[in-house]
Structure 1
Amino acid sequence: MMFVVMSVIFILITLNIIQYVQMKNRDKKLDYLANKLGQILEEDSMEQLLLMTDDKKLKALLIEINKLLDMHKGKIAKYNQSRQSMKKMLTNISHDLKTPLTVVLGYIETIQKDKTIDQKEQIRLLLQVHRKTIEIIDLMNAFFDLARLESGDKEIPLMKININEICKDNLLSFYDVVQTKGLKIDFQLPDNPIHVVGNKEALDRVLHNLLSNAIQYGSDGKILGLALTFNEKHVCIDVWDRGKGIEEQKQDLVFERMFTLEESRNKAFHGSGLGLTITKRLLEQMNGTIHVQSMPYQKTTFTVTLPRITY
């Protein structure tokens, strides 16, 4: 009997010792993880937590922590990218504001100081002042619109929209410009009305931007195209031309803020580099997408995709 009791006591003591050792080992590992995690966060390191262990619960914890680290790294990268983009945007906007303001100031000083200017020349200079002032207003409106879209302050109510009418109205608004430039129009719309989930004001702005870009940068191709296609779930609007197009390596960049290279066509707002960015943000608000495909002097197509309504 005594032997049995002693055996039980020995087993219990052994188990307690094993548990104590395991707890100490786990505590050491947890301390290591805590210190290493703090170091990674403090240094903004790209490391992950690594630990050799057979403890299933610790393994599960490591997996979840590393998922959080990956999310953290993604947010840091996005923040840094956004910060650099914003700095570049502010620099470019400062330059774009300074240039027309300097011109406006020059015109005004000329009118004030040059007493020999006749009335006809004064009117011409005042028209130039007016044109440059409109450029400044458009630039500031574009900047604030983008800021409101990206901050979520600009609400875009969605409703059922007849996209056929939106396409027709926007193309007609460019009729005089198209005639002046001698462009041929390739206009393909279905006979029956097609409806999408959208916002009329936002869609007008999207199409106006894309059509004006196609005319401005693709008019040397002598044709402007707009085609509306659809399936059960989506509607696609293609705005295309046969102009100089966009180099392949730049096509993924045209919707970035302040990408203002001439070839990018992202200059709908007098060189601000905000036009296509605003277009993309507006479409995102309407659960839509936009992408571009371009082969210089063959075909450059901006494709807008929106959810379709069939009822």
Structure 2
Amino acid sequence: MNTYLLILIIFLMCVCCISIFKNIYFSNQIDEINRSLEQIRDGNFNMRLRLYSSNKGLQNLGVNLNSIIDEFQRIVEKKEYLEESRKKMISNISHDLRTPLTSVLGYLEALHKDSTLDKEERKYFLDIVYIKAQRLYSLLEQYFQLSKIEAEDVPIKLEKINLTNIVKDALVEFYQEFVKENIEPIIEIQEKDLFVWGDSKAIDRILSNLLLNALRYGKEQKTIGLMMKEKNSMVWVEIWNGGAGIPEKDIPYIFDRLYTAEPSRNEKLRGSGLGLAIVKKLIERLNGKVLVKSIPNEKTTFSFGLPLYKQLM
């Protein structure tokens, strides 16, 4: 046999062998991918593809598939969280509406059926009914406002706003509340007016909700403060109070709709959890940022920042 022909045959046999081994290798890799995807399909979302290959195409395939699996896992976890939040929201709504309504019905029944009540007792009962009904109306109004904000049905007009003046006006509105609770707030506002790009009604609502929150949880310690500062092309307003504070585990959820930390779910301090949700939604509509820090039994600070007006000119 011709030597050159023999070399050619050997070469072709080597090529065929390499091709066969390569196909077997790729087939094994594909089988590995299928096995991993089957486990993920069956609910093992911690499974990831591990492809040991020098082939760039296989490497890219593995990276992209793992990226898709990561995103899918985030979606599943978010869905589970939202479902849990929905159940908790329904429970909290039922609790928050039932409590004042039960009280109102109880006192109305006494007024209707108890003929032994004298004039002062009837007036006392009516005053309680009025207070509870106001609480119920306020709660329903917050639900309504939050739903409108989430649906972007509340008009936001971005314009040049003197934030310093709005903050001062908000403090004046709360003056009687501070006097009533014997609180002298610590105010740190620089003399220079600070202007932001915002909406006056939205900002006023944000300040009102945060001040109400600080007053609710800070009045027992008689410590409430407010500070304004300019930092990193934004104007920041910090509102802080003393008190029990917020547990670290609750911080990530504090702005969620109807979320209230369990220790606060009592008649003296319990809020609806709607005020802070409204704050977050409005600040997002204003292209701002909101933060919360809490040192239990020492200090809790809610901060929101809005873009300096000159930065958007």
Normalising by structure 1, report the TM-score. 0.83
- C-alpha separation in 1, matches of 2:269 and 2:86: 17
Match of 1:68 in 2: 68
Residue 71 of structure 1 and its aligned partner are, at CA, apart by 1.4
Structure 2 equivalent of residue 52 of structure 1: 52
Q: Separation in 2 of the partners of 1:74 and 1:245?
A: 30
Deviation at 1:149, TM superposition (A): 5.0
Identity %: 35
Provide closer, same or farther for how the CA distance between residues 62 and 253 of structure 1 changes in structure 2, counting only shifts above 3 A.
same
Tell me the C-alpha RMSD between the 2 structures. Answer: 3.4
In structure 2, how many angstroms separate the alpha carbons of the residues matched to 1:265 and 1:48? 42
CA distance in 2, matches of 1:31, 1:198: 57
Question: How many Å separate the matches in 2 of 1:158 and 1:61?
Answer: 46
Q: Is residue 117 of structure 2 the alignment partner of residue 99 of structure 1?
A: no
Instruction: Confirm whether residue 85 of structure 1 aligns to residue 85 of structure 2.
Output: yes
Aligned-partner SS, 1:103 = helix
1:229 aligns with 2:229: yes
**How is 1:1-311 mapped onto 2 (pairs within 5 angstroms)?**
4=4, 8=8, 11-12=11-12, 14-16=14-16, 18-117=18-117, 121-147=121-147, 156-231=156-231, 233-246=233-246, 250-261=250-261, 271-295=271-295, 298-310=298-310, 311=313
Identify unmatched segments of 5+ residues in structure 1.
none
Greater displacement, 213-222 / 227-236: 213-222
| Cα distance change, pair 78–262 in 1 and its aligned pair in 2 (3 A) | closer
Q: 1:138, 1:166 → 2: CA distance?
A: 23
Q: How many Å separate the matches in 2 of 1:20 and 1:155?
A: 68
8 A Cα contact 1:294 1:301, kept in partner: yes
User: Would you say the 8 A contact 2:265–2:271 is kept in 1?
Assistant: no
- Amino acid of the residue matched to residue 75 of structure 1? I
Q: CA deviation at 1:21?
A: 4.2
Q: Which runs of 5+ in 2 are unaligned?
A: none
User: Is the contact between residue 139 and residue 270 of structure 1 (CA under 8 Å) also seen in structure 2?
Assistant: no
How many Å separate the matches in 2 of 1:87 and 1:262? Answer: 16
How far did 1:31 drift? 3.8
Kept in 1, the 8 Å contact 2:230–2:236? The answer is yes
The code of the aligned residue for 1:81 comes to Y
For 2:207, the aligned partner's letter is L
User: Any conservation in 2 of the 1:221–1:243 contact (CA below 8 Å)?
Assistant: yes
1:215 Cα shift?
Answer: 1.7
Question: Which amino acid is 2:224 matched to?
Answer: L
Shift of 1:107: 2.2
Distance 1:43 1:248 in 2: 31
Deviation string, structure 1 residues 129-183 (Cα, Å, up to 9, x no partner): 3332232233233345445555666664433322112211211111111112221
Contact 1:235–1:308 under 8 Å retained in 2: yes
Q: How many residues align?
A: 311
The letter for the 1-side match of 2:179 is Q
Q: SS state of the match for residue 219, structure 2?
A: helix
**Preserved CA contact (<8 Å) 2:250 2:261:** no
CA gap of 1:40–1:54, structure 2 versus 1, over 3 A, is same
CA distance in 1, matches of 2:51, 2:266: 49
Q: Normalization by structure 2: what TM-score?
A: 0.83
Q: Deviations over 1:245-275 (max 9, x none)?
A: 4455655553344443376699999632232
CA contact (8 A) 1:269 1:275 kept: no
Contact 1:195 1:308 in 2 (8 A): yes
